[in-house]
């Protein structure tokens, strides 16, 4: 299953709740304000880094750029993708759950 | 692959409508089929032709209309959500005794059953909202 | 062939319209004879609390509608234990939701199933369509 998260983990528990319900082998895609969850060195980065042992993480590049987050500030191992990559992920996983 | 999309937020306040549009375009470019885009909650505000953004801003409503025209995409506004928020086509306006309609080109108003149908008929249903 | 639909509710009622309009989808969707489940987690568990009184707000109290779900054959209502506990709630604080089991001589049964976060994760994984409100 593909999970999408569009909230900053510093503002809401959405990403935390998503991670708690993401099974091994599933994927989490950070979109919109969710991309703040991909940043290194935040209070919430350790939560993401720990989850990455079992779950693949992706982030929308255009959303990062819009917010002035350079790729060098993204946690190592998170794949930066565009909307075409987003479509591929939705196709690859059998269903998508949007954590709103 | 056959995709359907649920848009749960109105234009401009939230990014959801922009993300949904960018996703839809990318899906079409890759040769996927968009079975339906369903607008619910404040998402029905994506379908009013009275929207008039500043000239240097994107026109989210016109963008949907153009997409529907070019790719024959079924854009559906939920009737119950639309009635609450003052979005009407000619039939709805007449039925509810309103003096005007405001639905944009390429959109139609129908029931929530169209969302369930999209879930049944599509390979994937993805939600953009808040 | 029917699909498995899960409606995920994570938002409290009244502050926003999502809870009410989610319920409207569930009621309409029930007519499509799909395999329907509801999940309540995070602040979504507040949707099911007893004692909601909205008259002083001037808005409709829609909580009694949850009790009608059993009549629509919507009887798989999963409530997450961790979410309840984090909010100082227990099952006793929630509306009694029941249905009549036609396979068991119409015996009245509880629709609410208390599940752990880990169990809910498996339930989510087992669906065909997940709608979040």
For residue A55, what are the CA distances in angstroms to A8, A23, A26, C22, C126?
19, 7, 5, 29, 17
Mean pLDDT of A28-53: 98
Among candidates C10, C42, C128 on the partner chain, residue whose Cβ is nearest the Cβ of A95: C128
Q: What is the pLDDT of residue B121?
A: 98
Beta-strand (E) ranges in C21-132?
35-40, 77-80, 98-101, 107-110, 112-115, 129-132
Q: Which residue's entry shows tokens 């003052």?
A: B86
Q: Is residue C1 predicted with pLDDT exceeding 80?
A: no
Q: What share of chain A has pLDDT > 90, as a percent?
A: 100
Residues in A closer than 8 angstroms to C125, CB to CB, are 1, 23, 26
Give pLDDT tens digits for C39-81: 999 999 999 999 999 999 999 999 999 999 999 999 999 999 9
Tally C-beta pairs within 8 A across A and B. Answer: 49
Residues in B closer than 8 angstroms to A6, CB to CB, are 15-16, 19, 130
Mean pLDDT, chain C, whole residue set: 96
Q: Which domain holds residue A33?
A: 2-99
Q: Which domain holds residue B30?
A: 2-128
What is the CATH number for B58?
A: 3.40.1260.10
Give pLDDT tens digits for C98-117: 999 999 999 999 999 999 99
* CATH numbers and ranges of domains, chain C: 4-132 (3.40.1260.10)
Give pLDDT tens digits for A67-83: 999 999 999 999 999 99
What is the CATH number for A25?
A: 3.40.1260.10
Instruction: Using pLDDT thresholds of 50, 70 and 90, give the confidence band for residue A32.
Output: very high
Residues in C closer than 8 angstroms to A26, CB to CB, are 125
A92 touching B (Cβ < 8 Å): no
In chain C, which among 99-128 make CB contacts under 8 A with chain B? 128
Alpha carbons A78 and B5: distance in angstroms, whole number: 26
- Nearest-Cα residue of chain B relative to residue C11: B130
Alpha carbons A19 and B76: distance in angstroms, whole number: 33
Residue B78's closest CA among B107, B39, B121? B39
Q: What is the pLDDT of residue A71?
A: 98
Q: What is the pLDDT of residue C30?
A: 93
Q: Is residue C11 predicted with pLDDT exceeding 80?
A: yes
Answer whether C132 sits within 8 Å of A20, measured CB to CB: no
Instruction: Using pLDDT thresholds of 50, 70 and 90, give the confidence band for residue C133.
Output: confident
Mean pLDDT of B26-38: 98
Give pLDDT tens digits for B36-95: 999 999 999 999 999 999 999 999 999 999 999 999 999 999 999 999 999 999 999 999
Number of domains in chain A: 1
Instruction: Using pLDDT thresholds of 50, 70 and 90, give the confidence band for residue A50.
Output: very high
Q: What is the pLDDT of residue B25?
A: 98
């Amino acid at each position: 299953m593909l999970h999408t998260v569009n909230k900053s983990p510093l503002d809401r528990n959405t990403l935390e709740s998503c991670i708690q319900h993401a099974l091994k082998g599933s994927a989490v895609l950070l979109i919109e304000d969710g991309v703040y969850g991909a940043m290194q060195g935040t209070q919430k980065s350790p939560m993401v880094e720990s989850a990455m042992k079992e779950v693949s993480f992706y982030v929308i590049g255009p959303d990062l750029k819009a917010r002035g987050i350079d790729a060098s500030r993204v946690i190592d191992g998170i794949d930066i993708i565009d909307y075409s990559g987003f479509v591929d992920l939705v196709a690859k996983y059998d269903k998508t759950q949007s954590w709103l | 692959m056959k995709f359907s999309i649920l848009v749960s937020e109105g234009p401009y306040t939230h990014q959801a409508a922009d993300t949904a549009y960018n996703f839809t375009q990318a899906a079409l470019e890759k040769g996927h089929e968009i079975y339906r885009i369903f607008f619910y909650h404040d998402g029905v505000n994506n379908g009013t032709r009275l929207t008039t953004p500043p000239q240097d801003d994107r026109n989210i409503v016109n963008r949907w209309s153009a997409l529907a025209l070019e790719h024959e995409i079924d854009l559906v506004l939920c009737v119950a959500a639309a009635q609450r928020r003052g979005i009407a086509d000619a039939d709805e306006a007449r039925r509810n005794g309103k003096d005007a309609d405001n639905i944009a080109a390429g959109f139609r108003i129908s029931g929530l059953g169209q969302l369930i149908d999209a879930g049944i008929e599509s390979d994937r249903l993805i939600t953009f909202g808040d | 062939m029917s699909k498995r639909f899960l409606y995920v509710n994570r938002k409290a009622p009244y502050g926003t319209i999502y809870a009410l309009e989610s319920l409207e989808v569930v009621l309409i969707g029930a007519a499509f004879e799909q395999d329907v489940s509801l999940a309540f987690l995070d602040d979504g568990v507040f949707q099911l609390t007893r004692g909601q009184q909205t008259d002083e707000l001037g808005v409709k109290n829609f909580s009694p509608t949850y009790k009608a779900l059993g009549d629509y054959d919507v009887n798989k209502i999963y409530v997450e234990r961790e979410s309840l506990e984090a909010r100082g709630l227990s099952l006793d604080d929630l509306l009694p939701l029941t249905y009549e089991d036609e396979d068991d001589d119409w015996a009245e049964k509880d629709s609410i199933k208390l599940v752990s976060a880990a169990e809910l994760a498996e339930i989510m994984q087992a669906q065909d369509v997940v709608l979040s409100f």
